[in-house]
Amino acid sequence: MTAAQITAIQPVQDAQDQTGVAPFGPKPRHVSPGRIGIYVFLVIAALFFLIPVYIMIVTSLKGMPEIRLGHLFSLPAEPTFQPWADAWLHACTGRDCNGLSPGFYNSLKITVPSVIISIICASINGYALTFWPYKGANLLFGLLVFGAFVPYQVVIYPLIIGLSSVGLFATLPGIIIVHTIFGMPILTLLFRNFYAALPVELFKAARVDGAGFWRIFFSIMLPMSVPITVVAIILQVTGIWNDFLFGIVFAGRSNWPMTVQLNNIVNTTTGVREYNVNMAATILTAAVPLIIYFVSGRWFVRGIAAGAVKG
Amino acid sequence: MDMAQNGTSVSIQDLSLNFGAVSVLKTLNLDVAQGEFVVLLGPSGCGKSTLLNCVAGLLDISEGRIFIKGKNVTWEEPKDRGIGMVFQSYALYPQMTVEKNLSFGLRVAGLPRDEIVKRIARAAEILQIEPLLQRKPSALSGGQRQRVAIGRALVRDVDVFLFDEPLSNLDAKLRSELRVEIKLLHRKLQNTMIYVTHDQIEAMTLADRIAVMKGGVIQQLDAPQTIYNRPVNRFVAGFLGSPAMNFVEGRLEKHGDGWSFVAEDLKIPLGTYQFDGQPEAGPAVFGIRPEHVSLNSGTGWPFSTSANVEVVEPMGSDTLVWLKLAQQKFSVRVTSERTPQNDEAVTLGFDPMRASLFDAETGGRI
Ligand SMILES: Nc1ncnc2c1ncn2[C@@H]1O[C@H](COP(=O)(O)OP(=O)(O)O)[C@@H](O)[C@H]1O
Ligand SMILES: [Mg+2]
C-alpha cells in the first residue's frame, strides 16, 4: 500500500488534545469559571432570601425576654410554641382578641369558591375562544389580554359603586365576584393557549362523532386539562390568599381575610410590640401558599411544559 | 333531484371557500359515484384538506352546495351527513381507551349498549385490533393508532369515508402495508371513499379516479392510467410520476404535411402523436416519461438519437440514466442489468405516441 492509499482509507486522524489523550468515549467535563460563578451567585441569592426566614422562625420560638436581649441570629434558648398559639387564638386587633384564626377561615371562604368559579369560567372561555370562534371572538380576546394589564387601583372605585348598587359591596359574594373577575384575563389566556396547542383534529373528530359544545368540553377537553388546571389552581390560590387590597376594600369587616387580619395584629398600637407573636402570625399567613408551592412545584413545571400533548 | 338513484354518492356543486379575502377553493365541482374511491391529489397547500373539511361540514362554505346520497347537506352538522373521517394526526382521544374511542360517537348518538358492543366487535375484527381494545392511544404504535382511527369511522356505519392524509405520519414500510389494507377495506365495505394525499403512489394505487388539484382548482379528474398517460397540462404531468417526466422546451413546426417538435438540432417527428385538437406552430414543451424511453435497443423506434451518459443513479431494481437532449437535462429509466457507464455513448429511442406535448405559454396539452 502506498502512503496515498493509507490516507485514503484512514482519512480521519485522531486529533490529540493538550494532555495527549486521543478522544474516545464520553467527552471529559471541565468545570468552567462561568459555572462556578453561577453557583456562587445562586448560593448568595438563596441565603439572601433564607436569612429573613431563619430570623422569623427563631424569633417566633423565643419568649419576649430573650428577644429583648437583641441576639437576632441566635437559636432560641428555651424554645416555646406559646407565640404561635397566641397568634392563632389570642392576638389582638384593636378590641377583638381572637387571633388570626377567624381570618384564616375567612380566607378559606373567599379563596375556595373564587378559585373554583374562576377556573371553571376561564376554562370554558379558553375552550370557546379556541374551538368555537364566533364573531368578535378576537376582539373579546384582545380585550381580555388588555384586561390583564389594567392596574387594579383604576377600577376599584367603579367596582365599589357597581357592587353597592346591587347590594353586594362588603359581602362574601362580592369579594368572590371581584376575585373571579380579576382572575379572568390571565386564566383565560392560560387556558386558551393550552387548548390552542392541542391538535385541532381532536376537536374535528369529536364534531364528526356528533358531540356538541358541552360534550366535547367535558368528555374530551377537560380530561386533558389536568396539567393546566393545576397551574391555574396554584396561580389563583396564591394570588387570592395573598391579596390584601381587594380583601380590605370589598370583603367587609366580618369577612376580612387573613392578610388583613395579620396587618391589623402587627400594626396594633396598644401595648407591647410582641415580635414573636407577629413573626408566628406572619409565618402562619404565608403557610398556605408555601405549602402549595412545595407540594405542587413539580406539577407546576410539568403543567407549564405541557403545551404539546402527545398521542 | 334524486341522486342516489343515478349512483352519485357525493356531489359538490360550484363550491367556493374563502378565508377572509383569500380564496382557497374556486367554484369547484366534483361528483363521486356510489362506492367509488376518489383520491384528491395535489401539493401541500392546494386546498385538499379544506375541500374535505367542507364535505365533512367542519368548515362553513362561502358558495355552492353539497349533496350526499342525494340529500342537500350544505347546512347539515357533520354528524348528520353520514360521513366518517380519518385524520393525519390520528386525533384519537388521548384519555380514552381504544374501546372508548371507538364507542364515543355511538354513545353520543345514544345507541343501545348491545348494539355498540356488536359494532365495536365487528370493527375490531375487520381491523384486527381486538387485543388493543383496553389500551390507551399512547400505548399504541403509529400504525395501530391509524387503524383505531379508521375503526372510529367504521363503527359509525357511514356511507362516505373521508381520509385526510391518513398515512403521512407513518414510515415507508407501514405506509405501504396500510395502503393495501385500506384498499382491501374498500373492497370489503364497498362504500364511497374520498382520500386526500400528496403522495402520488398512494393516489395511483388506491384510486378509481384521481382529482389532481392545484391552487384550489381541480386540474384533472380521471382514472389513474389516463392521468398518467394523458395529463391535461404540464403541472399534472410533472406532479405524477417518479422519477418525473422529462420536459424539453422547443417549437412545434409543420414540415410538409406532418408535424415535428424541434429543439436546436433535435427534430422529433410526431407522426404517431395524438393531438388533442388542431395543433398550431409555435413554442411548445415536449414531455416524455423516463420509462418510455429505451436505451441501446436498436433503431426500430419511430424516433431515435444518440447522446452521452452524464450521471447514473442506481435505484435498486432500476437505474436512472441522466443525459442531455438539445442541451436540456433528460433521464432514461433502464433495468439495472443494462446500466451504462458514465460518459458512454448511447442511443435512445421512443415512440412519440407515448409523449405529451404542452403549450409553452398556458401549459395545456396540445
Ligand atoms: N383556517 C384557515 N385560515 C386561513 N387560511 C387557511 C386556513 N386553513 C387553511 N388555509 C389556507 O388554505 C390553503 C389550503 O390549505 P389546506 O386545505 O390545508 O391545504 P392542503 O390540505 O392541500 O395541504 C393554504 O394556503 C392554507 O394556508
Ligand atoms: Mg392537508
Q: With 90 as the cut, is the pLDDT of residue B232 above it? A: yes
Asked if residue A15 has pLDDT above 80, the reply is no
Name which residue sits closest to atom 4 of ligand 1, judged by CA: B19
Q: Give the residue-averaged pLDDT of A59-65.
A: 90
pTM: 0.85
Residue B14 CA, distance from chain mean position = 22
pLDDT band per the 50, 70, 90 thresholds, residue B263: very high
- B142-153 confidence digits (pLDDT tens): 999 999 999 999
CB A17 within 8 A of CB A23: yes
pLDDT classification of A14: cutoffs 50, 70, 90: low
Nearest by CB to A202, from B84, B91, B156: name it: B91
Could you tell me the pLDDT band of residue A9, with boundaries at 50, 70 and 90?
low
Contacts of B102 (CB under 8 A, 6+ apart): B120, B123, B124, B133, B148, B151, B152, B155
CA distance A226 to chain B (A): 11
* pLDDT score recorded for residue A134: 84
Ligand 1 atom closest to the Cα of residue B48 is 22
H-assigned helices in B140-190: 142-154, 172-189
- Can you give the pLDDT at residue A12? 56
Rounded Cα gap, residues B99 and B137, in angstroms: 10
Closest by Cβ to A205, choosing from B57, B91, B138: B91
Q: What is the pLDDT of residues A165-223, one digit of tens each?
A: 999 999 999 999 999 999 999 999 999 999 999 999 999 999 999 999 999 999 999 99
| Ligand 2 is an ion; residues with CB less than 5 A from it | B 49
Q: Shortest CA distance to A85 belongs to which of A73, A97, A70, A72?
A: A97
Provide, as residue numbers in chain A, all residues whose Cβ is less than 8 Å from the Cβ of B152.
Answer: 205, 209
Q: How confident is the model at residue A2 (pLDDT cuts 50, 70, 90)?
A: very low
* Strand blocks (E) in B108-176: 160-164
pLDDT at A6: 47
In DSSP terms, B333 is beta-bridged to: B320
Task: Give the least confident one: A64-78, A112-126, B145-159, B218-232.
Answer: A64-78
Q: Is B41 in the pocket of ligand 1 (CB under 6 A)?
A: no
For residue range A271-306, list pLDDT tens digits in order.
778 899 999 999 999 999 989 888 887 777 666 665
Closest ligand 1 atom to residue B216 Cα is 14
- What ipTM is given for this predicted complex? 0.89
Atom 24, ligand 1: residue with shortest CA distance: B45
What is the pLDDT at residue A31? 83
Asked if residue A83 has a cis previous peptide bond (ω within 30° of 0), the answer is: no
Q: What are phi and psi of B23, to 5 degrees?
A: -90, 115
Using the 8-state DSSP alphabet, how is residue B365 labeled? B
Cβ-defined contact of A309 to B94 (cutoff 8 Å): yes
Question: Is B152–A202 a contact, with Cβ atoms under 8 angstroms apart?
Answer: no
When the candidates are 2.170.270.10, 3.30.70.100, 3.40.50.620, 1.10.3720.10, the CATH number that belongs to A101-308 is: 1.10.3720.10
Q: Do A210 and B58 lie within an 8 Å CB cutoff?
A: no
- The residues on A that touch B, with CB distances below 8 Å, are 199, 201-202, 204-211, 215, 219-220, 223-224, 309-311
